Structure 1
Protein backbone atom coordinates (compact mmCIF):
# COMPACT_ATOMS: atom_id res chain seq x y z
CA UNK A 1 0.00 0.00 0.00
CA UNK A 2 1.21 3.46 -0.81
CA UNK A 3 0.68 6.53 1.37
CA UNK A 4 1.49 10.21 1.19
CA UNK A 5 2.54 11.87 4.44
CA UNK A 6 2.45 15.66 4.58
CA UNK A 7 4.03 18.07 7.04
CA UNK A 8 2.16 21.38 7.17
CA UNK A 9 3.86 24.35 8.82
CA UNK A 10 3.96 28.08 8.25
CA UNK A 11 7.21 29.73 7.24
CA UNK A 12 7.04 32.04 10.27
CA UNK A 13 6.70 29.04 12.61
CA UNK A 14 9.93 27.57 11.25
CA UNK A 15 11.74 30.87 11.71
CA UNK A 16 10.37 31.25 15.25
CA UNK A 17 11.85 27.91 16.33
CA UNK A 18 15.35 27.98 17.86
CA UNK A 19 18.23 27.26 15.50
CA UNK A 20 19.17 24.24 17.65
CA UNK A 21 15.70 22.77 16.96
CA UNK A 22 16.07 23.32 13.21
CA UNK A 23 19.50 21.65 13.22
CA UNK A 24 18.15 18.72 15.22
CA UNK A 25 15.24 18.33 12.77
CA UNK A 26 17.50 18.38 9.71
CA UNK A 27 19.67 15.64 11.28
CA UNK A 28 16.60 13.59 12.26
CA UNK A 29 15.04 13.86 8.80
CA UNK A 30 18.26 12.81 7.07
CA UNK A 31 18.68 9.83 9.38
CA UNK A 32 15.04 8.66 9.44
CA UNK A 33 14.50 9.14 5.69
CA UNK A 34 17.67 7.11 5.05
CA UNK A 35 16.35 4.33 7.32
CA UNK A 36 13.04 4.28 5.44
CA UNK A 37 14.88 4.21 2.11
CA UNK A 38 17.12 1.31 3.18
CA UNK A 39 14.05 -0.65 4.35
CA UNK A 40 12.42 0.05 0.92
CA UNK A 41 9.57 1.97 2.57
CA UNK A 42 10.43 5.42 1.18
CA UNK A 43 9.63 5.97 -2.49
CA UNK A 44 10.46 9.69 -2.55
CA UNK A 45 10.42 12.88 -0.55
CA UNK A 46 9.82 16.46 -1.67
CA UNK A 47 10.83 19.59 0.21
CA UNK A 48 8.64 22.49 -0.89
CA UNK A 49 9.39 26.20 -1.16
CA UNK A 50 7.96 28.26 1.70
CA UNK A 51 4.50 29.75 1.25
CA UNK A 52 6.04 33.15 0.47
CA UNK A 53 7.12 31.66 -2.86
CA UNK A 54 3.78 29.99 -3.67
CA UNK A 55 1.14 31.13 -6.14
CA UNK A 56 -2.39 29.90 -6.77
CA UNK A 57 -3.78 29.77 -10.30
CA UNK A 58 -7.55 29.99 -10.77
CA UNK A 59 -9.84 28.54 -13.44
CA UNK A 60 -9.62 31.62 -15.65
CA UNK A 61 -5.86 31.77 -15.33
CA UNK A 62 -5.99 34.40 -12.61
CA UNK A 63 -2.96 34.25 -10.31
CA UNK A 64 -2.61 35.28 -6.69
CA UNK A 65 0.28 35.03 -4.29
CA UNK A 66 0.03 32.53 -1.47
CA UNK A 67 -0.96 28.93 -1.00
CA UNK A 68 -4.38 27.38 -1.55
CA UNK A 69 -5.36 26.46 2.01
CA UNK A 70 -5.33 29.98 3.46
CA UNK A 71 -7.25 28.87 6.57
CA UNK A 72 -4.70 26.18 7.39
CA UNK A 73 -1.01 25.66 7.03
CA UNK A 74 0.91 25.13 3.79
CA UNK A 75 2.73 21.90 3.00
CA UNK A 76 6.44 22.02 3.75
CA UNK A 77 7.48 18.43 3.04
CA UNK A 78 5.79 15.42 1.46
CA UNK A 79 6.86 11.78 1.71
CA UNK A 80 5.63 8.91 -0.48
CA UNK A 81 5.96 5.66 1.41
CA UNK A 82 5.18 2.07 0.46
CA UNK A 83 4.24 -0.14 3.40
CA UNK A 84 2.34 -3.38 4.02
CA UNK A 85 -0.34 -1.99 6.30
CA UNK A 86 -2.12 1.22 7.25
CA UNK A 87 -0.84 0.68 10.79
CA UNK A 88 2.77 0.85 9.55
CA UNK A 89 1.98 4.15 7.77
CA UNK A 90 0.58 5.44 11.07
CA UNK A 91 3.74 4.32 12.91
CA UNK A 92 5.95 6.21 10.46
CA UNK A 93 3.72 9.29 10.67
CA UNK A 94 3.82 9.09 14.48
CA UNK A 95 7.63 9.11 14.39
CA UNK A 96 7.63 12.22 12.20
CA UNK A 97 4.91 13.87 14.31
CA UNK A 98 6.73 13.16 17.56
CA UNK A 99 10.03 14.53 16.38
CA UNK A 100 8.58 17.51 14.51
CA UNK A 101 6.11 18.24 17.33
CA UNK A 102 3.16 18.59 14.95
CA UNK A 103 0.45 16.70 13.15
CA UNK A 104 1.27 14.71 10.00
CA UNK A 105 -1.40 14.20 7.37
CA UNK A 106 -1.65 10.60 6.10
CA UNK A 107 -3.51 9.65 2.92
CA UNK A 108 -3.52 6.43 0.98
CA UNK A 109 -2.41 6.87 -2.60
CA UNK A 110 -5.03 5.14 -4.71
CA UNK A 111 -3.98 2.37 -7.16
CA UNK A 112 -3.50 3.56 -10.70
CA UNK A 113 -3.06 7.18 -9.67
CA UNK A 114 0.53 7.30 -10.89
CA UNK A 115 0.83 7.64 -14.65
CA UNK A 116 3.91 7.87 -16.83
Structure 2
Protein backbone atom coordinates (compact mmCIF):
# COMPACT_ATOMS: atom_id res chain seq x y z
CA UNK A 1 0.00 0.00 0.00
CA UNK A 2 1.23 3.51 -0.68
CA UNK A 3 2.59 5.46 2.25
CA UNK A 4 1.09 8.99 2.09
CA UNK A 5 3.76 10.44 4.38
CA UNK A 6 6.47 9.42 1.92
CA UNK A 7 7.03 12.30 -0.48
CA UNK A 8 7.56 10.23 -3.64
CA UNK A 9 4.29 8.32 -3.12
CA UNK A 10 2.42 11.26 -4.66
CA UNK A 11 2.13 11.16 -8.44
CA UNK A 12 0.86 14.15 -10.36
CA UNK A 13 -2.13 13.65 -12.67
CA UNK A 14 0.06 14.70 -15.60
CA UNK A 15 2.37 11.75 -14.91
CA UNK A 16 -0.44 9.18 -14.94
CA UNK A 17 -1.15 7.26 -18.18
CA UNK A 18 -3.66 8.91 -20.48
CA UNK A 19 -5.65 7.69 -23.47
CA UNK A 20 -3.92 8.38 -26.78
CA UNK A 21 -7.17 8.47 -28.79
CA UNK A 22 -7.80 11.74 -30.62
CA UNK A 23 -10.01 14.09 -28.59
CA UNK A 24 -9.95 11.84 -25.52
CA UNK A 25 -6.75 11.96 -23.44
CA UNK A 26 -8.69 10.75 -20.37
CA UNK A 27 -6.96 8.89 -17.58
CA UNK A 28 -6.43 5.19 -18.29
CA UNK A 29 -7.73 2.69 -15.80
CA UNK A 30 -5.65 -0.38 -14.98
CA UNK A 31 -7.27 -3.75 -15.72
CA UNK A 32 -7.99 -4.46 -12.07
CA UNK A 33 -10.93 -4.62 -9.69
CA UNK A 34 -10.65 -2.21 -6.79
CA UNK A 35 -11.86 -3.14 -3.31
CA UNK A 36 -15.60 -2.63 -3.06
CA UNK A 37 -16.21 -2.95 -6.80
CA UNK A 38 -18.29 -5.72 -8.30
CA UNK A 39 -16.88 -8.21 -10.78
CA UNK A 40 -18.08 -8.47 -14.36
CA UNK A 41 -20.48 -11.45 -14.49
CA UNK A 42 -19.18 -12.48 -17.93
CA UNK A 43 -15.69 -12.82 -16.48
CA UNK A 44 -16.98 -14.83 -13.51
CA UNK A 45 -18.82 -17.20 -15.85
CA UNK A 46 -15.71 -17.61 -18.01
CA UNK A 47 -13.58 -18.28 -14.91
CA UNK A 48 -16.10 -20.85 -13.67
CA UNK A 49 -15.99 -22.72 -16.98
CA UNK A 50 -12.19 -22.73 -16.97
CA UNK A 51 -12.16 -24.07 -13.41
CA UNK A 52 -14.64 -26.83 -14.31
CA UNK A 53 -12.28 -28.06 -17.02
CA UNK A 54 -8.88 -27.65 -15.39
CA UNK A 55 -6.69 -30.57 -14.37
CA UNK A 56 -4.36 -28.45 -12.21
CA UNK A 57 -4.81 -25.12 -10.45
CA UNK A 58 -1.97 -22.77 -9.48
CA UNK A 59 -2.71 -20.21 -6.77
CA UNK A 60 0.05 -17.61 -6.82
CA UNK A 61 0.58 -14.81 -4.32
CA UNK A 62 -2.87 -14.31 -2.83
CA UNK A 63 -4.22 -14.07 0.69
CA UNK A 64 -7.15 -16.36 -0.23
CA UNK A 65 -9.53 -14.19 1.77
CA UNK A 66 -11.11 -11.91 -0.86
CA UNK A 67 -14.27 -13.37 -2.41
CA UNK A 68 -15.36 -14.52 -4.87
CA UNK A 69 -11.81 -15.37 -6.02
CA UNK A 70 -10.99 -17.01 -2.67
CA UNK A 71 -13.55 -19.75 -3.35
CA UNK A 72 -12.21 -20.81 -6.76
CA UNK A 73 -9.23 -22.98 -5.76
CA UNK A 74 -10.97 -24.69 -2.81
CA UNK A 75 -13.83 -25.64 -5.17
CA UNK A 76 -11.30 -27.16 -7.58
CA UNK A 77 -9.56 -29.01 -4.72
CA UNK A 78 -12.92 -30.38 -3.50
CA UNK A 79 -13.29 -32.11 -6.89
CA UNK A 80 -9.98 -33.90 -6.34
CA UNK A 81 -8.02 -31.70 -8.74
CA UNK A 82 -4.50 -30.89 -7.48
CA UNK A 83 -4.02 -27.30 -6.38
CA UNK A 84 -0.57 -25.81 -5.81
CA UNK A 85 -0.38 -22.68 -3.69
CA UNK A 86 2.64 -20.38 -3.92
CA UNK A 87 2.80 -17.76 -1.20
CA UNK A 88 5.09 -16.08 1.27
CA UNK A 89 3.05 -17.63 4.09
CA UNK A 90 0.22 -20.07 4.72
CA UNK A 91 -3.31 -18.85 4.04
CA UNK A 92 -6.71 -19.95 5.37
CA UNK A 93 -7.00 -22.22 2.31
CA UNK A 94 -3.51 -23.78 2.45
CA UNK A 95 -4.63 -27.03 4.06
CA UNK A 96 -7.27 -27.58 1.36
CA UNK A 97 -4.53 -27.85 -1.26
CA UNK A 98 -2.28 -30.74 -2.27
CA UNK A 99 0.83 -28.56 -2.55
CA UNK A 100 2.09 -25.46 -0.75
CA UNK A 101 5.31 -23.73 -1.78
CA UNK A 102 6.25 -21.20 0.89
CA UNK A 103 8.49 -18.31 -0.03
CA UNK A 104 8.72 -15.47 -2.53
CA UNK A 105 6.71 -16.34 -5.65
CA UNK A 106 9.47 -14.92 -7.84
CA UNK A 107 11.67 -17.85 -6.83
CA UNK A 108 9.27 -20.64 -5.78
CA UNK A 109 7.20 -20.61 -8.99
CA UNK A 110 10.14 -20.87 -11.42
CA UNK A 111 11.76 -23.51 -9.22
CA UNK A 112 8.60 -25.64 -9.07
CA UNK A 113 7.95 -25.29 -12.80
CA UNK A 114 11.47 -26.45 -13.62
CA UNK A 115 10.95 -29.82 -11.85
Give the alignment's TM-score, normalised by structure 1. Answer: 0.24
Whose strand fraction is larger, Structure 1's or Structure 2's?
1
